Structure 1
Amino acid sequence: MLYGPSGIGKSTIVDALAGHIAGTGVLVLRTVPAEVEAGLPYVVLVDLFAEVLPRTRGLASHLREALEVALLRAPGSSRPRDGLTVRIAVLELLRRLASETPVCLVIDDAQWVDEASAEVLSFAVRRLSGTDVTVLVAERVADNEPAAGRFCPSPMDSLVVEPLSYSGIAALLAEQDFGPLPRTAISRILEASGGNPLFAVELGRALAKRGGSLAQHEPLPVPDKLRALLSERLAGLDVATRQSLLLASAMARPSISLLARCHALPEDGLDAAERAQIIQVAADGGLSFRHPLLRELVYADATAGQRRAAHTSLMSTVDEPVERIRHLALGSPTHDEATAVLADSAAADAAGRGAFVSAATLSRLAATRTPPADTSAIAARLLDAARYADAAGHTAEALESATTALSSGGTAATRVAARLLLIDLAGQDLTGAGAQLAAAEQDAAGDVALEAEVAFYAATLAYFERRYTAADAESHRAEKLARLADDADLVIRALGMQATMALTLGREEADELHESAYRLAEGRPVTPATVDARQSWAMTALFRGDVTTARREITQLEADVRSLGLVRDLMSVLISCSAVHVRAGYGADALRAARECQSLFADAGSAPGIGLVVAAAAGWG
């Protein structure tokens, strides 16, 4: 049994499974009932058995006649028949069919099975033990438990159809006929759709019709096809309730108390909205929309002026400084450097607390509020947004922000940093890395700190291109320049690269270099450089056979990275966690790390194969 909400992909899966089953020689009997037919008796039995009715000739005459009448293939007699006769007729028919060939009953949209058919099918399947009859059922379920299990014989596998991840939604949208969409738009579609394929495609199509671009914090266009699924819940709500829901849709963390402080709580305390299945209210007063698309619909249906007024009201009410600045910027859509500076500062504060998603949003907001003439500030703020998005593991947003930063006319330092970040974000795809690196070398000329960064990336690129002698030379040049620039993090990274090259070239100082990098990283803040050094030291201990040290180091590193919300670094650390735990004999810990690693790589849309390999290795181990 498959179950899940409307549009989640149940029918697509059922179609594929039914086609595969039929291709193996199984007799597939299928029905897809509709809501308008749910009150018609035996309509599902007609769908399932009308084509095989000629094969009932071997049934007892009273059973065959009862079935023919139920399926409207013969006129009813004046003498009423009890329901048991039809139930036994269907049971005997299925047994006879299964004695000749395997049978699979396929019931899609099982929530619309008419009650008369439901009673017959549930009676029959409970008595099909030992026969070659299987059942495939799909049921639309919102918040309740599925009820269609009564149509499945025991034992039954019950599977919820889960929402798609970012990579799944991106691949689905790429297959559509409305052309490519920006990465940030895909992320917004994922958020609004809740990973629902139908919702995502319709939102993408509506956005493409409007040109495909989407300004930050601009609501997605919600097409009529989706409105029809959700608007009934909003119908009949009074003006006060709608205004309260608009404020809630604009909040980062909606709550009854915050609405009350805005003097926007209707007299019924939003009971009407809760009864209409639009929102749910927790015991502590926290408020959430039943589906992200409901939130998007409420926000999109307001005028631009109403949305600005909502943010202005919230700006003077919320306590959290970062959230207050976000509402300030959204309540005043004009270019204003003072607002941009506040948003920029709030982004840094959010990042300092590990809230990198919020930090990226605020940095992009700061860039959009920066006066257009200040291209250097715009580029720098977009670069910050890219870095924060990368730290959060949001590769698509990071790529888009870094690309925009590079084209925004920033300083040489901003251009170099953006180019190097784009090389990082490309992952295993080094197609454009050489050109980016060459351009970065030109921008960095004369600046020792920038030259050191570029030299390190030149070493890394040479290593992946198997130009090992060049990689070794560049890593030493990077260390020398980094020391001149007093850049400890870059010294650490250069030492790590030298250790890699020593190992690759068969020299004996690899462990010594790893230890030097590790000692330099000890006591320093958690940064990509110190994470790499500590991770490499843990793996060095593992390869030496010191499993205890390896597990202690990697466990502490995972905790440190996780506490700061550094998703990008966590993705890498979990690879080593899985390997160390496997070697140490902690299989459950290895599987936990590997599965999380797989999930993070898939959600980031960055080299998902790495996560799959790690998960497979842990499972095998």
Structure 2
Amino acid sequence: MEREFDAAPSDRLVGRAAVLDRARAQLSSGGSVLLSGPAGIGKSAVLRALTEEFGGGAVAVLRCSPTESESHLPFLSLIDLLEFAAGEVSDSLPVPQRAALEAALTGRADSSDQPEGLALRLAVLSVLRTLAGRAPVLVVADDLQWMDPVSTELLAFAARRLGGLPVRFLAAVRTGTDREGCEEVQLGCLASLPRQPLVLRVPPLSTHQLSELLADRKEHPALHSSVLQDIHRTSGGNPFYALELARALAERPVPPRPGEPLPVPTGLRTLVLNRLGALSPEARTTLLIAGAGARPTLALLRECGRPAAEAEIAEAAELGIARLDPDGVVRFTHPLISAALYSEAPSGARREAHTALAGATSDPIERARHLALATSGEDEHVARTLEGAASVARERGAPAAAARLGLLAADRTPPENLPEVLRRRLCAAEDALVAGDTALARGTAREVLAQAVLPADRVRAWIVVIDSAGQAMADVDDAFPQALADAGEDPRLLAPLLYQVSWRAALVEGSLTRAREVAARSASLAARVGDRRTELLALAFQALTETLSGHPDAEQTLERALQEPQDPRVACDHNGPGYLRFSCLLMGDRLDEARAALAPLVPIARRRGAVESEILFLRGLADTELRAGRCETALELAHESLRLAEDVGVGVGPALHLAALAEAAGGSVQRALSLAHSGIRRSEEDGDRVFLTRSLTALGHARLMGSDAHGAVVALRRVRELEEDQGVAEPARGRWQGDLAEALVRVGALAEAQEVIDVTRDAAVRLGRGSVLGVLERAQALLTAERGDLDGAAAGLRAAGERLGRLGYRLEEGRTRLALYGVEARRRGPGAARAVLEESARIFRRAKALPWLELVAAARERAGHRSPHLSRGSAAISLVTPPAADGAASSEPSASSSSSLTSQDSAVAVLAGGRLDSLAEMERRVAALVLEGSTNREIAAQLFVSVKTVEATLTRVYRKLGIRSRVDIVRLAALRTG
């Protein structure tokens, strides 16, 4: 009975938005839905949510939830569905039908093959028709695979004859059961419907979604990201399995050490090991070795002393336990089987498996891990081997693996050699920090502090604790005085610690002046003792504070930070000179140079496994693309940064603010508002005053776009107050001043708007911030128009648009053209101003600025214009459009549309037979670039994703379009356009 295995219900369904959205759309249109997936994946939870949503009010809901133990009993599901409903309509049935139905529902009939079989079929059909004539009917069947065959056949008979009546089926079927082909067999009653049912696979949860799920269950403690990843890998993303594994962890007094298996609860072991009893002892031993290895191949198993490995894996394959891939790798049908097998094995058998693997594998990291797990107790030789493997992992850009190996090395170090234990733990903590596993880093550093007495060890551990807090430095405020006391007057210890203090001054105290002073002192001390890494980081932060506060030494300090020699560890550090140079280029309106400076750092950060740096660099690229008016790319990069930040719990507040801005430009204003509010909450929780202003800026901008000028003023006034308190004098940092001035104009606060413009203009002129001046010119023109000088306002807006266009700020240029339309419509009438509106629309279409296109469509509707690209009275987008002014094909959504189509999209739409919904956004973009002749590597570079991601995306495109290769994409497009 699957309900026993489904994830426990909660107030919200984590990770099911996409499934729910598609199911809602199908049910709303009168269609039927079948949810499929393995036990525990959460089908019943989705089914319950949809039933509650669509089964309320006047809808008649017929439910059944058959079980395996009852699946042999005929009519049982029919009884559950119709027992009460049939009583309401049975009197209207012909006597033979009523008698047959009563016999089935009371258990007197035992087969639909009896003479009254046709009467019973007609009776079921009549009941459904009668109910549907009174109100819409929703038939809900959970665990459809256990529905008795008689009930299945009766429902199929009725379904084929319901015609256009309002009867919808909502069902869930388990896949991966012992009952072969159960999904296909039980599709019968749905596949016969007039409208084909939508079959939706309920997917596994991602690591981040699993983290959300566990966080919603208060009984589960906070888990290190490394442990969370183990749970995700072992559970296969199955929420029920994950909850059970986490519950077992919560019952243990201490979490498992690196290399230790997760505790598999007895219930799960019983669930997944039922078939292992049929295995021969030899096959079981071979599978234990395979499960202990990282990538077990037949060759490796033979090297481990298993000459009959192929036959033993074939034995496991017959039982549905494991299989042999074409590349020779052994795969378990579910990771939990491997974990349970390992958990069940005696400790001696585990050590023998690891001993065999240590002797067979050639990889130094794997060899060291198996050597450690093959031995018990402390062993300095094993510890040194593990430490060497950690160094190899670090060099390979696998800091997470290095952290685990380092902790294993510390555990295997004899306790009498305490200095080595502490040193190895500190290295592991620093590796965990690079990998983004802040909880593991902080916990390990605290362990060191509990034992360390040497100031150098203690200060190093304190820095890990402080660094692990990320933006939430207020959470570790107590660490600073203790760390400073441990450092004393030793410049080698004081320099890196003061660097952390300078960040605290900016984030927690909100004082750029103090932050600059402390950073300068840190750089000076570091230079004195030859600590080039700390010197470069401190100089970079000093230059940043000087830039933001308008200090005259900012450029000179940045030059010092960029001088040779550079430390390779700082080259792609998220707080290093490289990123600061990018920031200065971006604030100086040198968008192409900024992109060129930052783009190479992303793959370097990925190779190093420097997650926090990767998050920041992706965010920086998103900001660059946003300013350049490439909204779709900006949106993808911003959300990639946010997903990564949420996965590791680092830099979430900053990522939220940029995702909000990207949504406001190229996605949804409602989502922008939600993300901005989340960013504000996160920054306030972290005590991060710097990024609190950024999220407030995003909120003000989204409110302004949503025509909530008063709300925008409230948010942006607070930004102004906070930045004044912090001493921020750089107008290009947050770029909120133009929005505030425009919002103030809209609410009639003209004097305050003029004051904001004047103050900001002085700073922008002094610092040479051309784009800021362009935005201020737009605000000034709107203010001029409000004062009655429409001619002067129009001239000002034209000048502002030209300035912003020259600088490459296409989105701001389009926004200015739209403002010009408003002025010109007042000055010369909407008809005369239409060309200006179409010019703004052209810019927004190129930028894929969907919310702005909706504003254009609304302006057209108010003015009575008809878009040449829209069918009157329809939200449909024409795939064949007249050329735009520059000769490029274009199309434009209506105000209600949620996506726009470029000429590339049109080609892909033709390729997909007009079924754009069949392809996801990334799939459309990849297919479009294939049509342009781009290679996979070129596509990956343009979209800032890996080549593997491109390959996987193309595979999905091929499957959805029914083709086999990229050549078929071009051929199919040519045929359909020809």
Q: Deviations over 1:548-577 (max 9, x none)?
A: 222222321212222333223212211122
Residue equivalent to 2:794: none
Q: 1:78 to 1:447 in 2, by over 3 A?
A: closer
Answer whether contact 2:290 2:301 (CA < 8 A) is retained.
yes
Alignment of 1:259-270 (within 5 A): 259-266=301-308, 268-270=311-313
Q: Tell me, in whole angstroms, the C-alpha distance in 2 between the residues paired with 1:244 and 1:515.
A: 61
In structure 1, the residue corresponding to 2:150 is in which secondary structure? Answer: helix
Question: Relative contact order, CA 8 A, sep 6+: which one is greater?
Answer: 1
Answer whether contact 1:379 1:410 (CA < 8 A) is retained.
no
Q: 1:301 aligns with which of 338, 344, 355?
A: 344
Q: 2:52 aligns with which of 8, 11, 19?
A: 19
Residue equivalent to 1:369: 412
Q: 1:105 aligns with which of 129, 134, 139?
A: 139
Q: Tell me, in whole angstroms, the C-alpha distance in 2 between the residues paired with 1:37 and 1:68.
A: 20
Alignment of 1:333-348 (within 5 A): 333-348=376-391
Residue equivalent to 2:534: 490
Q: 1:553 to 1:9 in 2, by over 3 A?
A: same
Deviation at 1:425, TM superposition (A): 1.9
Q: Tell me, in whole angstroms, the C-alpha distance in 2 between the residues paired with 1:78 and 1:259.
A: 55
Residue equivalent to 2:203: 162
Q: Tell me, in whole angstroms, the C-alpha distance in 1 between the residues paired with 2:374 and 2:87.
A: 71
2:345 pairs with 1:311? no
Q: Tell me, in whole angstroms, the C-alpha distance in 1 between the residues paired with 2:435 and 2:176.
A: 30
Q: Deviations over 1:154-188 (max 9, x none)?
A: 36554433333445445544565866376365554
Q: Tell me, in whole angstroms, the C-alpha distance in 2 between the residues paired with 1:212 and 1:33.
A: 41
Q: 1:386 aligns with which of 417, 421, 429?
A: 429
Alignment of 1:527-546 (within 5 A): 527=571, 529=573, 532-546=576-590
Answer whether contact 1:492 1:520 (CA < 8 A) is retained.
no
In structure 2, the residue corresponding to 1:264 is in which secondary structure? Answer: coil
Letter in 1 for 2:401: S
Answer whether contact 2:612 2:651 (CA < 8 A) is retained.
no
2:269 pairs with 1:236? no
Q: Deviations over 1:100-155 (max 9, x none)?
A: 33332222222222223233334544555644433332222239995465537536
Deviation at 1:234, TM superposition (A): 0.9
Letter in 2 for 1:371: P
Letter in 2 for 1:204: A
Q: 2:504 aligns with which of 458, 461, 472?
A: 461
In structure 1, the residue corresponding to 2:273 is in which secondary structure? Answer: helix
Residue equivalent to 2:450: 407
Answer whether contact 1:452 1:479 (CA < 8 A) is retained.
yes
Residue equivalent to 1:137: 171
Answer whether contact 1:219 1:300 (CA < 8 A) is retained.
yes
In structure 1, the residue corresponding to 2:221 is in which secondary structure? Answer: coil
Q: 1:129 to 1:397 in 2, by over 3 A?
A: farther
Q: Tell me, in whole angstroms, the C-alpha distance in 2 between the residues paired with 1:364 and 1:168.
A: 27
TM-score (norm 1): 0.90
Q: Deviations over 1:16-36 (max 9, x none)?
A: 333344455533322211112
Residue equivalent to 1:422: 465
Letter in 2 for 1:232: N
In structure 2, the residue corresponding to 1:333 is in which secondary structure? Answer: coil
Structure 1 gaps of 5+ residues are none
Q: 1:173 to 1:562 in 2, by over 3 A?
A: closer
Q: 1:550 to 1:185 in 2, by over 3 A?
A: closer
Deviates more, 1:501-510 or 1:479-488: 501-510
2:392 pairs with 1:359? no
Q: Deviations over 1:457-510 (max 9, x none)?
A: 111111112133221211211221222232333233223322332244243555
Q: Tell me, in whole angstroms, the C-alpha distance in 1 between the residues paired with 2:116 and 2:592.
A: 73
Residue equivalent to 1:477: 521
Q: Tell me, in whole angstroms, the C-alpha distance in 2 between the residues paired with 1:192 and 1:507.
A: 54
Letter in 2 for 1:428: Q
Q: Tell me, in whole angstroms, the C-alpha distance in 2 between the residues paired with 1:265 and 1:4.
A: 37
Alignment of 1:111-150 (within 5 A): 111-125=145-159, 130-142=164-176, 147=184
Residue equivalent to 1:202: 244
Q: Tell me, in whole angstroms, the C-alpha distance in 2 between the residues paired with 1:122 and 1:579.
A: 55
Answer whether contact 2:537 2:570 (CA < 8 A) is retained.
no
In structure 2, the residue corresponding to 1:136 is in which secondary structure? Answer: strand
Deviation at 1:436, TM superposition (A): 0.9
Answer whether contact 1:3 1:140 (CA < 8 A) is retained.
yes
Answer whether contact 1:66 1:81 (CA < 8 A) is retained.
no
Q: 1:18 to 1:412 in 2, by over 3 A?
A: farther
Deviates more, 1:277-286 or 1:480-489: 480-489
Answer whether contact 1:14 1:138 (CA < 8 A) is retained.
yes
Structure 2 gaps of 5+ residues are 1-33, 667-978
Q: Tell me, in whole angstroms, the C-alpha distance in 1 between the residues paired with 2:518 and 2:395.
A: 33
Q: Tell me, in whole angstroms, the C-alpha distance in 2 between the residues paired with 1:79 and 1:336.
A: 74
Residue equivalent to 2:718: none
Q: Percent identity?
A: 35
Deviation at 1:82, TM superposition (A): 6.7
Q: 1:402 to 1:113 in 2, by over 3 A?
A: farther
Answer whether contact 1:427 1:607 (CA < 8 A) is retained.
yes
TM-score (norm 2): 0.59
Residue equivalent to 1:3: 36
Q: 1:259 to 1:448 in 2, by over 3 A?
A: same
Q: Tell me, in whole angstroms, the C-alpha distance in 2 between the residues paired with 1:570 and 1:382.
A: 25
Q: 1:272 to 1:250 in 2, by over 3 A?
A: same
Answer whether contact 2:74 2:111 (CA < 8 A) is retained.
no
Deviation at 1:4, TM superposition (A): 2.1
Q: Tell me, in whole angstroms, the C-alpha distance in 2 between the residues paired with 1:340 and 1:77.
A: 71
Deviation at 1:344, TM superposition (A): 0.9
Q: 1:259 to 1:58 in 2, by over 3 A?
A: same
Q: 1:278 aligns with which of 321, 325, 331?
A: 321
Aligned pair count reads 621
Answer whether contact 2:74 2:149 (CA < 8 A) is retained.
yes
Q: 1:602 aligns with which of 632, 643, 646?
A: 646
Q: Deviations over 1:505-532 (max 9, x none)?
A: 2435556655654565879456553764
Q: Deviations over 1:19-78 (max 9, x none)?
A: 344455533322211112222233222212212112224445554444333333776899
Answer whether contact 1:524 1:530 (CA < 8 A) is retained.
no
Residue equivalent to 1:500: 544
Q: 1:69 to 1:576 in 2, by over 3 A?
A: farther
Q: Tell me, in whole angstroms, the C-alpha distance in 1 between the residues paired with 2:607 and 2:112.
A: 77
Deviates more, 1:414-423 or 1:169-178: 169-178
Q: Tell me, in whole angstroms, the C-alpha distance in 1 between the residues paired with 2:563 and 2:624.
A: 21
Q: Tell me, in whole angstroms, the C-alpha distance in 1 between the residues paired with 2:535 and 2:187.
A: 62
Residue equivalent to 1:252: 294
Deviation at 1:414, TM superposition (A): 2.7
In structure 1, the residue corresponding to 2:74 is in which secondary structure? Answer: coil
Q: 1:425 to 1:166 in 2, by over 3 A?
A: farther
In structure 2, the residue corresponding to 1:40 is in which secondary structure? Answer: coil
Deviates more, 1:253-262 or 1:313-322: 313-322
Q: 1:81 to 1:401 in 2, by over 3 A?
A: farther
Q: Tell me, in whole angstroms, the C-alpha distance in 1 between the residues paired with 2:203 and 2:333.
A: 16
Q: 1:440 aligns with which of 483, 487, 490?
A: 483
Residue equivalent to 1:34: 67
Q: 1:284 to 1:604 in 2, by over 3 A?
A: same
Answer whether contact 2:351 2:375 (CA < 8 A) is retained.
yes
Q: 2:79 aligns with which of 40, 46, 66?
A: 46
In structure 1, the residue corresponding to 2:261 is in which secondary structure? Answer: coil
2:221 pairs with 1:180? yes
Deviation at 1:615, TM superposition (A): 4.2
Q: Tell me, in whole angstroms, the C-alpha distance in 2 between the residues paired with 1:58 and 1:539.
A: 77
Deviation at 1:320, TM superposition (A): 1.1
Structure having the higher Rg: 2
